[in-house]
Amino acid sequence: MANYKTSDFRKGLKVQIDGEPYLMIEMNFVKPGKGNAMYKCKLRNLIRGTVLDRTYKGGDSLEAADVEEVAVQFLYRQVDMFMFMNSSTYDQYELTADQVDDAWKYLKEGMECSMVLFNDVPITLTPPNHVELKVEYCEPGAKGDTATNVTKPAKVETGAEFICPSFINIGDVIKIDTRTGDYVERVRQ
């Protein structure tokens, strides 16, 4: 990949440091006295989400990172392996449970997700902001109880459990916000 010189540095640049991809989220130009220029950067690690503070001096350079966001479809899960397919190229990607992290709770076969590739290798997976999941098991709700402040756990088709209002029954479909893991509403069938 190309190199970025300090004069190319700006917010939004994707670069490689010690073999890992980073997004430049802040860049400030400083210049002491009569010396060389300096570029104070905040860089977010695109794999771990951590933020790095680094200051580069005029003449330094950073390698560009080949980072791309693609739409993928979840195909199936095989024990600890999750298979995805690139929706436009049909390339397949295999992710471990570690890489999928909490997203496994939302993955239904055929679901469209967004995946970030670094050198064509998946580094992060993001499910849609809202998903609809069928409840497979929960304690029966009290009749006529429509209050949302009484809650209980419910196990859904992916095997994950979510906290939902007590009026939810087995067979109901519930909408979950994947960014927080919170129950949003019961979906009318």
Partner 1 sequence: MSDADDRRAVAERTFPPTASRRALELRANLLRSLREFFHERGFLEVETPLLSAESVVDRYLDPLPVALDAGTRGDDLPDLMWLQTSPEAAMKRLLASGMEAIYQVTRSFRGGERGRLHNPEFTIVEWYRAGDDMRAGMRLLSDLCEALLGRGAARPVAYREAFRQHLGLDPFQSELVDLRLRVEELGGTSPTPGGADERDELLNTLLALGVEPHLGTPSPTLLIDYPASQAALAKVRGDTPPVAERFELYVDGVELANGYHELLDAEVLARRQTLANQQRAADGKPVLPACGRLLAAIRHGLPACTGVALGFDRVVMLAAGAAHISEVLAFPIDRA
Binding site for partner 1 (CB under 8 A): 7, 28-38, 52-60
Least CB distance to partner 1 at residue 3 (A)? 13
Shortest distance (Å) from residue 18 CB to partner 1: 13
Nearer to partner 1, 54 or 108 (CB): 54
CB of 1 to partner 1, least distance (A): 19
Write out the H or E segment, with its range, that includes residue 100: helix 97-100
Q: How far is the CB of 170 from partner 1 (least distance, A)?
A: 53
- Which is it for the CA torsion 172, 173, 177, 178, positive or negative? positive
- Nearest to partner 1 of 48, 57 (CB atom): 57
- 5 vs 179 by CB, closer to partner 1: 5
Based on CB atoms, which residue is closest to partner 1, 59 or 181? 59
H or E element, residue 55? strand 51-57
Strands 173-177 and 182-187: antiparallel
CA 107, 112, 114, 116 torsion-angle sign: positive
Name which of 58 and 155 has its Cβ closer to partner 1: 58
- State the nearest-atom distance from the C-beta of 120 to partner 1, in Å: 29
| Non-local CB neighbours of 188 within 8 Å, separated by 6+ positions | none
Contact (Cβ atoms closer than 8 angstroms) between residue 54 and residue 41: yes
Quote the radius of gyration of the chain (alpha carbons, Å): 22
